[in-house]
Amino acid sequence: MKKLLVFILVVVGAVLAFNYFSTGELTLLPGTSMSEEDQDLNRLKGALRAAAQEYRQAGRQAALSGLDTTHAAGAALAAVNGIERDLKALRKKSDAPEFREQVDELLGEVKRFKEQIS
């Protein structure tokens, strides 16, 4: 009985940890308490990080192989510009100050990324 209880506690802890690291919230079921705006923000955050990774990967490929990776880098920059546009539209649509603050933080990440690559 004790082994079963310990096993259940370990499984619940693992699920909580996974959801916390993937969504940033400590819940058993991911995404159940997220509003549509929060889901959009989470999607844009993931897209920004993926585009930044693509840009860095294009730079590494160009450095290692000497191949022309301007198309891959340009596509990543276009994705970042689209994300920035979507974030600004999402900020205008929301009235909640806490949500606007989160959008502003992500816009700050976009700005830092653009400054870093310039």
In this predicted structure, what is the pLDDT of residue 108? 95
Q: What is the mean pLDDT of the chain?
A: 85
| pLDDT tens by residue, 49-92 | 999 999 888 888 877 777 777 788 888 889 999 999 999 999 99
Per-residue pLDDT band at 23 (split at 50, 70, 90):
low
Dist CA 40 CA 33 (whole Å): 13
| Contact assessment for residue 40 and residue 102, using Cβ atoms and an 8 Å cutoff | no
Per-residue burial over 76-96, b if 16 or more Cβ lie within 10 Å, else e, is bbebbeebbebbeebbeebee
In this predicted structure, what is the pLDDT of residue 111? 94
In which residue are the tokens 């990080």 written? 49
The answer to pTM > 0.75 is no
Structure tokens at 79: 């994705």
Residue type, 74: G
